[in-house]
Amino acid sequence: MIRTLLKYGALLVAGILIYNYFFGTDTEKDNSRKIFGQVRDVVVSVGQLVKSEKSKFDAGKYDAALEKLGSAYKAVRERAQHLDASMLKRLDELEQRKSALQGELDKIEQNEPPEAAPAPSGKKTLKADPKAEKIKAGKAADQQRRKEQLQRELETLLQDSDALLKQAQEQ
């Protein structure tokens, strides 16, 4: 219900802005132009953020940590004859969490759209559809939130793995 109210509120605000942009007084038109300019700036900023995160992601920001975890788990498994059953169970759980994180990262990587090619020089470019830009910015923001959540999960997994490795060394 709240989601529906927010949608209607956003549509109402957009409708008022569009009306004022075309049919309002001079001050209302100026205010609408300023607001549309600010929205455009936000969309551009979100786009730049997504591009920078994508380049970090492509450069292997998460892969290195997952590789280290894999090698650490392998080392613990090799010394498994000295470990008790509860430690092996915890190790299995950590490996499953690592696999799930890797799957999520692969899924995000597959769902990311390719970089937009720049418009050929000398040709006029069409204005972007504001509604499509908002949708694109929303998807980019959702993608960014998911990446941040995965980063927090990865940090938790690393802490849990460190605790397990310390416990294995003590035995």
Q: What percent of the chain has pLDDT over 90?
A: 9
Distance of alpha carbon 34 from alpha carbon 30, whole angstroms:
6
Q: Give Cα separations from 106 to 68, 139, 145 (angstroms).
A: 17, 17, 16
The answer to whether 76 touches 166, Cβ cutoff 8 Å, is: no
Q: For residue range 94-144, list pLDDT tens digits in order.
A: 888 888 888 887 787 777 655 544 444 444 445 557 777 788 888 878 878
Kindly report, residue by residue over 23-34, the tens digit of the pLDDT. Answer: 989 999 999 999
118 burial type by CB count under 10 A (0-12 exposed, 13-18 middle, 19+ buried): exposed
Question: Per residue in 1-12, pLDDT tens?
Answer: 888 998 998 899
Tell me if 154 sits within 8 A of 101, measured CB to CB: yes
Confirm if 54 and 47 have CB atoms less than 8 A apart.
no
CA–centroid distance for 74 within its chain: 30
User: What's the pTM value of the predicted model, to 2 decimals?
Assistant: 0.46
Residue closest to 139 by CA, chosen among 71, 54, 26: 54
